[in-house]
Amino acid sequence: MAKVLVVDDEPNVRILLDMRLRHHGYDVLFADNGWKGIELYNQDHPDVIVLDLRMPELDGVTVLKEIRSVDLKQPVIILTGDTTPGTERQVRALGVSGFIIKGSSMKHLVDTLNSILKPFTLAS
């Protein structure tokens, strides 16, 4: 079973993602802030990370940079309400696997996860 780490400070988003991703067969870990996200990343080595950009204390861009300092190929999907083109360009330059605006269809997120994790499911 593929392991997905969700890093988002919004409880309602975490609840929704928990229900949807588990329904699609993913093992889901949650972090409610950037520090906890980095800790769980280092501890649990998820197959993919779903990362919010706007979080207090440690924002998603900083979390992404920390992950990239360790692993340039770790799949990361940005799920954010930040729709500024400059932010999207910045995270795409850091090599994200997807950029999804909050409020978009959950199917889009699931399809993106399935696409990233297809080699994982074929190897299992």
Mind listing the pLDDT tens digit of every residue in the chain (124 residues)? Answer: 899 999 999 999 999 999 999 999 999 999 999 999 999 999 999 999 999 999 988 999 999 999 999 999 999 999 998 888 898 999 999 999 999 999 888 889 999 999 998 765 544 4
User: For all residues of the chain together, what is the average pLDDT?
Assistant: 91
All residues at 6 or more sequence positions from 51 whose CB lies less than 8 Å from its CB, including other chains: 7, 8, 37, 60, 63, 64, 76, 77, 78, 79
Query: Could you tell me the two tokens for 41?
Result: 């990343």
Per-residue pLDDT tens for 65-97?
999 999 999 999 999 988 888 989 999 999 999
Alpha carbon 103 to chain centroid distance? 15
- What confidence score (pLDDT) does residue 120 get? 56
Amino acid at 17: L
Amino acid at 46: P
E runs forming strands in the chain: 3-7, 27-31, 48-51, 76-80, 98-101
- What confidence score (pLDDT) does residue 3 get? 95
The phi and psi torsions of 45 (rounded to 5 degrees) equal: 45, 65
Q: Which CATH number fits domain 3-123: 3.40.630.30, 2.10.109.10, 3.40.50.2300, 3.30.499.10?
A: 3.40.50.2300
- What confidence score (pLDDT) does residue 106 get? 85
**What is the pTM (predicted TM-score) of this model?**
0.92
